[in-house]
Chains A and B, each alone.
Chain A
């Protein structure tokens, strides 16, 4: 089991919890478990099957894009985090 920190704007979909226990051997499996537990999260994280490009997944201090992306392996006890890219424009 690993844990994943939920960003403030998505905590309404996790019963107000900032941290959730999740199971899975890869980031993809972890996000699958997360969105099975809390299905309303899915449209804010994924566009179809693709992770939205302003959604960043970290394991510890490392962005999984710089490892193997959604295929990055997750060890029991790892601390994951969803960090939004905050962007705007006229």
Chain B
């Protein structure tokens, strides 16, 4: 799986994740799918609704936000491609919590934010058997 995102959109989401530091932040990626490549055309920043004392290591999007963003994408012939979230002071590698909560065919963009500054972005997809994540290719346009 390859995810293509413009440097402007990536900068937009990374700035949000720097602003939510030391807590986790996140949101959704919307765009088009061509073959095995997902092209991001929109980034939707979504508030972290996990219990506030746990937000330093947990992210949760409100169910209604998924519903709204998916409906809007469907109505415009776009696809909800996946979601992004930060790992504050931690590598951009999926955790066991990420794996057990993950969905197939969804692009998981993880941004490592260290001391409040973006450090690394990597893209992952859940294996069909749910037992592991497979790293994809993150490309910038």
Residue numbers in B under 8 Å from A12 (CB-CB): 104-105
Contact of A87 among B60, B70, B94 (CB under 8 A): B60
Contact of A8 among B63, B80, B95, B129 (CB under 8 A): B80
Residue numbers in A under 8 Å from B50 (CB-CB): 87
Beta-carbon contact of A86 and B130 below 8 Å: no
Is B66 close to A, CB under 8 A?
yes
Beta-carbon contact of B95 and A7 below 8 Å: no
Contact of B108 among A8, A84, A88 (CB under 8 A): A88
Mask, A7-30, CB within 8 Å of B = 1, is 111111100001000000000000
* Additional A-B contacts beyond A8-B70, A84-B66, A88-B24 (15; CB < 8 A): A7-B66, A9-B104, A10-B105, A44-B130, A56-B63, A81-B67, A83-B66, A86-B101, A88-B59, A88-B94, A88-B110, A89-B24, A89-B57, A89-B95, A90-B88
Name 30 A/B residue pairs within 8 A (Cβ), A-sorted: A7-B66, A7-B103, A8-B80, A8-B105, A8-B106, A9-B104, A9-B105, A9-B106, A10-B103, A11-B105, A18-B74, A43-B130, A44-B103, A56-B63, A63-B63, A81-B67, A84-B66, A85-B61, A86-B101, A87-B59, A87-B60, A87-B97, A87-B101, A88-B58, A88-B59, A88-B83, A88-B97, A89-B57, A89-B95, A90-B95
